[in-house]
Structure 1
Amino acid sequence: MTGNGCPADGIPVFSSIFAQDTIANSAYNSLQASLDKRFAHGLQFTFAYTFSKSFDEASSFEGILNPIDPRRSRSLSAFDARHRLVLSYYWELPTRKFSGATGKVLNGWAASGITTFQTGFPIRISTLDDQELMYSFDFELPGEPDLVAPFKTMRPQSNGLYYFDPSSFSEDNTFGLIGNSPRTICCGPHISQTDFAILKTFPISESKQVDFRAEFFNIFNHTQFFNPDGNFSDGPQFGQVNQVRDPRLVQFALKFKF
């Protein structure tokens, strides 16, 4: 060893060198449209629609499939949502105005809500096996299986929680070969949710009132799955959904204004 800790040939010996680089590229295109009704006659609403498509080589900090050719990882972004429709509204119920005790009960009712429909997010497809010899770069690089049949989705409730057919993928044991599956594949379970609220105002005096609010999140209690397991190395769990979004949640609020 030389005086500076290097071998006699002057070439330092390291177990690994960790490198980071901002080399990924992305592209997003969309059409956005909205229809607004300003508050009048007790009603207001906003209707918004987005049609979009997003590509990138990495959607977050992650290892790419081939550091020598980052374009090999180009695929749909993990957050790509092709269609998204949102309707929000507020409606003061048009009941006749009552006086006295009857008015305190029947007057001042309103309803509001947000309804969202969205196509699913792309599914990340990967494998931990190193048939591609990518780990020779000493970086946490994912691999890819082969897509051997058309990708098709299934109904998890009647197919053992499988969202897609795992037999559509296989793994080639040829060393140095990267699978032909794209980094992400479209698409995971869609989102369909309505959050609804009922409001009631109880006037006490000219400057004081009590507001009651009942809120229902996912009021129709739709079962909504997160993306399925896209890691081929997870064996029988590959293709299965193992997480769901929140079921119906109800909460109440009481507010005193003065």
Structure 2
Amino acid sequence: MVAPLKPGDQYSLACSGGFTTDVTQAMYDLFACGGGPVFGFGDETTPLANLDYWGSDFSGNAGILGASGTYYPSIFGPNAYFNSQFHSLYAWRSVGNANYHAMQVNLRKRMSHGVQFDFNYTYSKSIDISSDAERIGAWSGLGGQVINSWAPNSLRAVSDYDITHQFNTNWIFEMPFGRGRWIGRNSHGAAEAIIGGWQLSGLARWTTGFPVSISNGATWPTNWQLGGDATQIGPAHPHTTLRPDGTVNLFPTDLPVTDIGLGPFRHDLPGESGNRNTIRGPGFAGLDLGLSKRWKMPFGESQNLLLRWEVFNVPNLKRFDVQTITTDISSSSFGAYSGMLTNPRVMQFALRYEF
């Protein structure tokens, strides 16, 4: 859209003032201006039309430093568009396509003989052209980004929230001690108060990991705002590792990232969109347990005193969230985690009187 610069010239299409030799960054800066409507207009439609047709934000800034008057590019004359990608500027749309297929297996035992449990397993695959993992992301889980609007299916891959395997189970086990049970069937008094009324319950979950895309970095191969995904040219072998410097990284060693084929990733060439969700992180695992003791009170059959001890994340497992890693292949902290899927072990006691 913007005419090529003459030697020594700079663009000044920026609301923050100053000049830049990068027209893409100048355009991005116009849309990144904070504090109110874009360019002072009350909606996006008007400034989008202005940029598309005239290449101007109508702020009165000269388009090029050193040129007399305004030097806004237009669709006619010497300042005509030369980069047609700017005819497609950022906009929200309810578009996209996705599909989900799964096999689910459930096994349930209703309470009998003091035992109850549920077990379910899901084998699934979700595919789309763009998505978010809901709890995190640039758009707070409200949507995704189509990097290349001319070829939206070029980044068709497994969804950001895709989980291949998932196991869930929960159970209640009334311990066979006390009156009417296998052990101490005829107990009463102090013996019954000690050995009777015990119950063990719990739930467990295990899943495979979320996928993640490696970012192309500060490069716009097919989109004026979004950098797209890096192109993977070799195996990366992710394995969450504690580095000697104390950081936790998705990769055991630093990965050389070059554009000459020496590493597993490279920057995109013009027109490329990269490869989406090619890396999998560690999955989730959790185990919660509860132990309770119930005493029947002598004031009535419906009155009980319940003491309960609950422990969350019993084995104190640590599972890092792959979607919080630094994905920019140009960053010195590439692969480093900043968030977790699990919480530290927590326990609590509760005393309840039922009537």
Structure 1 residue ranges without an equivalent (≥5): 6-10
Query: How far is the alpha carbon of 1:213 from its aligned partner?
Result: 1.2
The match for 1:196 among 289, 314, 324 is 289
Equivalent residues in 2 for 1:9-28, closer than 5 Å? 15=57, 18-28=90-100
Q: Distance in 2 between matches of 1:55 and 1:191?
A: 21
Query: How far is the alpha carbon of 1:101 from its aligned partner?
Result: 2.1
1:63 alignment partner, SS class: coil
Deviations 1:10-40 (A, max 9, x none): x676649652212211110000001111110
2:91 alignment partner, SS class: coil
Mapped pair 1:37 → 2:137: no
Mapped pair 1:257 → 2:326: no
Mapped pair 1:46 → 2:128: no
Q: Distance in 1 between matches of 2:268 and 2:230?
A: 10
Query: How far is the alpha carbon of 1:211 from its aligned partner?
Result: 1.2
Mapped pair 1:83 → 2:165: yes
Equivalent residues in 2 for 1:96-245, closer than 5 Å? 96-97=178-179, 98-135=187-224, 140-157=225-242, 161-164=248-251, 166-167=255-256, 168-172=263-267, 174=269, 176-178=270-272, 180=274, 182-205=275-298, 206-227=301-322, 229-232=325-328, 235-244=331-340, 245=342
Q: Distance in 2 between matches of 1:66 and 1:117?
A: 35
Structure 2 residue ranges without an equivalent (≥5): 1-45, 47-52, 58-85, 133-142, 180-186, 257-262
Query: How far is the alpha carbon of 1:242 from its aligned partner?
Result: 2.5
Question: Larger Rg: 1 or 2?
Answer: 2
Q: Distance in 1 between matches of 2:328 and 2:91?
A: 27
Answer yes or no: is the 8 Å Cα contact 1:217–1:250 preserved in 2: yes
- Between the two structures, name the one with larger relative contact order (CA 8 Å, sep ≥ 6): 1
Q: Distance in 2 between matches of 1:252 and 1:207?
A: 23
Change (3 A) 1:204 1:198: same
- Runs of 4+ in structure 1 off by over 6 angstroms are none
Q: Distance in 2 between matches of 1:185 and 1:256?
A: 54
Change (3 A) 1:27 1:230: farther
Q: Distance in 2 between matches of 1:218 and 1:142?
A: 38
Greater strand share, structure number: 1
- What value does the CA root-mean-square deviation take over the aligned residues? 2.4
Answer yes or no: is the 8 Å Cα contact 2:213–2:279 preserved in 1: no
Answer yes or no: is the 8 Å Cα contact 1:123–1:230 preserved in 2: no
Answer yes or no: is the 8 Å Cα contact 2:235–2:264 preserved in 1: no
2:306 alignment partner, SS class: strand
In the superposition, the TM-score normalised over structure 2's length comes to 0.63
